Amino acid sequence: MKSQLLILFLILTLLVSGQNNETSIIHEGHYQGKNLYVQNPFSGSGVGFCVIAVYVNGDVTTDQVNSSAFEIDFGNLSLKVGDPVTVKIQHKLDCLPKVLNPEVLRPRSTFETLSIAVGEDQVLRWKTANEQGKLTFVVEQYRWSKWVKAGEVDGIGDADEQSYEFKITPHSGDNKYRVKQIDYTGKPRMSPTADYSSDLAQISISTPKVKDKLEFSGETLYEIYDTYGNLVKKGFATKGIVGVANLKKGLYYINYDAKTGEVVNKK
């Protein structure tokens, strides 16, 4: 009985030891139609290569890992562009393989704008084609002599024609809108602009000298800058009122409605 327990103990020890000599690296993303390339060094002992096996979405692949470099071929799998992908590279503990092009699993912004316009219902609508991977559309409005973020809409990431919409908050007079995506390259991809003319009344500041609150003649988006050009407060003035009791005394420059840099004195 003791000998059987000893044998069982030795088997378990070998199994655990074998597991402790292995680890893995994981890369996640979406299939973009390209394969991964792996640099595969020798193990620390000098016997055999580092990688033991490769798994894609939990299934072991048939890739030939017994070489100094190999390709993870997604073409052998039933994947469509945009499908989520988890790659697990199981390797020996005393070495480290390297994926040479991990960016191929990151979505790229490739959308084409088929149409973009603002309706009378103040909804920005746009249609796209040739998206590759799910990326967020950032909706921007041109106001205060710059493009200002108005909101976000999740992209579908499919090459077929897609339709999107976003409820805008226009200022008085002429408005401009656009959408953009930024992928892993950091370079934005933008749509053409959509023009919209609003018949809203112009907003004005009712209290050029303020103490605890800044009052506008109506509801509006706003930005408040100090005399050093630091943005100290921004938001939407519900009922045309903004609390400013926490601001220090002095001059401030206000962007609101379609107006830029109007001066108020905080008492």
Q: How far apart are CA 244 and CA 234, in angstroms?
A: 11
| pLDDT tens sequence across 240-252 | 999 999 999 999 9
Taking Cα atoms as reference points, which of 173, 163, 140, 164 lies closest to residue 258? 173
Is residue 80 scored above 80 in pLDDT? yes
User: Structural domain boundaries of the chain?
Assistant: 2-105, 112-198, 209-266
CB contact set of 235 (below 8 Å; sequence gap of 6+) = 221, 222, 242
The structure's pTM equals 0.76
CATH architecture observed for domain 112-198: Sandwich (2.60)
Q: How far apart are CA 226 and CA 195, in angstroms?
A: 32
Alpha-carbon torsion, ordered 27, 30, 36, 38, to 10 deg: 0
Mean predicted lDDT score pLDDT of the chain: 90
Q: Is 100 in a helix, a strand, or coil?
A: coil
